[in-house]
Amino acid sequence: MKTTGIVTGIISNLVTIEVDGPVSQNEICFIDLGGTKLMAEVIKVTGKEAFVQVYESTRGLRAGDKAEFYGHMLEVDLGPGILSSIYDGLQNNLKTMEGVFLTRGEYTAALDSEKKWEFTPIAKAGDQVIAADWLGEVKEGWLPHKIMVPFTFEGSYQVKSVAEAGEYTVEETIAVLINEAKEELNVTMKQKWPIKIPILNYKNKPRPFRVMETRVRVIDTFNPIAEGGTGFIPGPFGSGKTVLQHAISKQAEADVIIFAACGERANEVVEIFTEFPKLVDARSGRMLMERTSIICNTSNMPVAAREASVYTAMTIGEYYRSMGLKVLLLADSTSRWAQALREMSNRMEELPGADGFPMDLPAVISGFYARAGIVNLNNGETGSVTFIGTVSPAGGNLKEPVTESTKKVARCFFALSQNRADMKRYPAVDPVDSYSKYLEYPEIIEDLEKKIGKNWVDKIGVGKNIVLRGKEAYEQINILGDDGVPLEYHERFWKSELIDFVILQQDAFDSIDANSPMERQSYMYNLVLDICDKSFEFDGFEECGNFYKKLINILRQMNYTEFESTEFNKYLEQLNNEINNGK
């Protein structure tokens, strides 16, 4: 029998309900407001009172209204049709909602129950299977979407039958399994999973051992992220967090992109809706939207659903990982998620931690980042979820709880600097403060040197050092004046400018420069390092500056032209001439 309850208290979207039976933490209930059902989640229980956060506006609710508990946590539907969809934080399909405004209490199905999918069986009758084993496959866009034994199935099963190749809807039975108690269970292409629980149906989770190409130079060349790795991008407003994330989502070497727009501007999401359907994936030649799913809970949508949105995104990511795919999950911004936690904690009158955030914020953040990773599946394949979140630190100050908690768990730190943004040096990733812990992993070093070349990681160190020394020289020049320092300081400064302008800066709005594959990146980086290695003779700082400005200009033209094209080679020749003249 279902537990029911009566509303006893309301403060904004926190409602207390007196219950007549058992309830569990995070259980979902529906409150009846004059026929409209408002979805809510249990977040605390004291005696007979359950505290629930309502995912909708509570306007018009009164003490005495009835609630019904559903006996399960917040779940999402997993099955073909997730890609190219646009969901809210609770996985309601925003495309099928009627009207211009979001209607309270309107919930739409995540998967189209009528669409037919071309199914091909993988398993056959008699096979022994366990949860997450692949039973068959459908084509979702161009991706092989595996139909798996539901993750909730415990123990081992014998396959009694698998449907023949043909067209089926997500509601139709595609396999019958027999459990150890000899009961028959029907499996469809759709399954449910609670978003706050990680999907752990894999063999093991090794340390990340290969890099993931994003085609953003300041990441790939200077601070590479591993496949299955974690990273975060903190930065004050206006420093280009969103542009950087969009660039990564367009170009990264991933099969599936899940984009969680969590508490951010609606117009930015509209930009994705408008742009992505027009963009072609450089690797597959297919539309970018076909491999993308957007979870969109903008800042004006209910705050409790915002908290759910990142988990919804992560669960979908883990689902595709179980198919042996490379998933890239992006969340913009995790600070808004943390603020949603703060709002609820505040209403429950919990004792606050730093800046009013709940005490368990670091634990919640680290628990979330821990769900990313590369995994070995039971059938020997690998799949991965790589996670990059943005952080919007209050006042641009990185010493605040969300940034600090995230810094402890994320392995890559892409710090956006206000100073670089003011100078229009984009992406404004600070070359000195940012880091990638993966550069310390022997597995990653081996992978990089195998893919790019010997001593690559040492070369990264050399480049970083040039930038750092250039920065120091610049400070000296500023204090002592152009004439007040030895010429060598100017050379140092200009060498760092060379790396800055040619490698670190990248035009996200130029189709060629924005999309820089690793081969091209290493070519350009080696070219620049070779120049930095040379010594030139100058008659004073002005000549030095002019010389390097010329080189920078040619190298930037190279960045803007097709790699190894005639034009590219023409610039290369020009560059070599200049270098020879400089000697």
Q: Which is nearer to other proteins, 249 or 298 (CB)?
A: 298
**Amino acid (1-letter code) at residue 307:** E
Question: How many other C-beta atoms are found inside a 10 Å radius of the C-beta of residue 540?
Answer: 11
Q: Which is nearer to other proteins, 238 or 461 (CB)?
A: 238
61 binds other proteins per the rule CB under 8 A: yes
* Tokens coding 558: 């190279």
Q: Tell me which residues in 165-204 interact with other proteins (CB under 8 A).
A: none
Q: Tell me which residues in 107-126 interact with other proteins (CB under 8 A).
A: none
Q: How far is the CB of 103 from other proteins (least distance, A)?
A: 7
Per-residue interface string for the shown chain with other proteins, residues 383-412, x marking contact by CB under 8 A: ---------x-xxxx---------------
- Number of chain positions touching other proteins (CB under 8 A): 63
286 binds other proteins per the rule CB under 8 A: no
Position among 128, 173, 186, 300 found at the interface with other proteins (CB under 8 A): 300
453 binds other proteins per the rule CB under 8 A: no
**Amino acid (1-letter code) at residue 203:** K
Place of tokens 């004046």: 481
Per-residue interface string for the shown chain with other proteins, residues 472-501, x marking contact by CB under 8 A: ---------xx-------------------
104 binds other proteins per the rule CB under 8 A: yes
Q: Tell me which residues in 224-243 interact with other proteins (CB under 8 A).
A: 236-238
* Tokens coding 287: 């539309």
Q: Tell me which residues in 241-280 interact with other proteins (CB under 8 A).
A: 263, 265-267, 269-271, 273-274
9 binds other proteins per the rule CB under 8 A: yes
101 binds other proteins per the rule CB under 8 A: yes
Cα–Cα dist 576/494, whole Å: 18
**Amino acid (1-letter code) at residue 440:** E
Q: Which is nearer to other proteins, 125 or 270 (CB)?
A: 270
Cα–Cα dist 236/419, whole Å: 10
Place of tokens 């037919």: 116
Q: Which is nearer to other proteins, 395 or 442 (CB)?
A: 395
8 binds other proteins per the rule CB under 8 A: yes
| Crossing angle between the packed helical segments 487-499 and 456-480, to the nearest 10 degrees | 130
Q: How far is the CB of 270 from other proteins (least distance, A)?
A: 5
CB hemisphere CA count around 225 (13 angstroms) = 36
Position among 97, 109, 279, 527 found at the interface with other proteins (CB under 8 A): 97
Q: Are 133 and 115 in contact (CB under 8 A)?
A: no
538 binds other proteins per the rule CB under 8 A: no
Choices 109-117, 291-299, 449-457, 543-551; region in contact with other proteins by CB under 8 A: 291-299
Place of tokens 């992560």: 314
Q: Which is nearer to other proteins, 97 or 409 (CB)?
A: 97
Position among 356, 367, 461, 540 found at the interface with other proteins (CB under 8 A): 356
Choices 99-107, 114-122, 164-172, 489-497; region in contact with other proteins by CB under 8 A: 99-107
Q: What is the DSSP string of 443-457?
A: HHHHHHHHHT-TTHH
Backbone phi and psi for residue 495, each to the nearest 5 degrees, phi listed first: -65, -40
Cα–Cα dist 135/96, whole Å: 30
355 binds other proteins per the rule CB under 8 A: yes
Q: How far is the CB of 101 from other proteins (least distance, A)?
A: 5
Q: Which is nearer to other proteins, 482 or 533 (CB)?
A: 482
Q: Going edge to edge, which strands form the sheet with 128-130?
A: 128-130, 156-162, 173-178, 184-188
Task: Please choose, from the candidates 208, 249, 231, 242, the residue with its C-alpha nearest in 3D space to the C-alpha of residue 413.
Answer: 231
CA angle 163, 92, 34 (to 5 degrees): 120
**Amino acid (1-letter code) at residue 151:** F
Choices 91-99, 191-199, 279-287, 570-578; region in contact with other proteins by CB under 8 A: 91-99
Q: Which is nearer to other proteins, 104 or 160 (CB)?
A: 104
Q: Are 134 and 148 in contact (CB under 8 A)?
A: yes
Q: How far is the CB of 545 from other proteins (least distance, A)?
A: 13
Q: How far is the CB of 9 from other proteins (least distance, A)?
A: 4
Q: Tell me which residues in 14-53 interact with other proteins (CB under 8 A).
A: 16
Backbone phi and psi for residue 460, each to the nearest 5 degrees, phi listed first: -60, -45
Cα–Cα dist 168/143, whole Å: 17
Question: DSSP character for 357?
Answer: -
Q: Are 472 and 493 in contact (CB under 8 A)?
A: no
Question: How many other C-beta atoms are found inside a 10 Å radius of the C-beta of residue 61?
Answer: 20
434 binds other proteins per the rule CB under 8 A: no
Position among 246, 342, 371, 411 found at the interface with other proteins (CB under 8 A): 342
428 binds other proteins per the rule CB under 8 A: no
336 binds other proteins per the rule CB under 8 A: yes
Task: Please choose, from the candidates 461, 556, 458, 536, the residue with its C-alpha nearest in 3D space to the C-alpha of residue 495.
Answer: 536
Q: What is the DSSP string of 490-530?
A: HHHHHHHHHHIIIII---TTSHHHH---HHHHHHHHHHHHH
Place of tokens 């809970």: 297
Q: Tell me which residues in 504-533 interact with other proteins (CB under 8 A).
A: 509
461 binds other proteins per the rule CB under 8 A: no
**Residues β-bridged to residue 354:** none
- Chain positions contacting other proteins, by CB under 8 A: 8-12, 16, 57-64, 86, 94-95, 97, 99-104, 236-238, 263, 265-267, 269-271, 273-274, 296, 298-301, 303, 336, 339-340, 342-343, 346-347, 349, 352, 355-357, 392, 394-397, 422, 481-482, 509
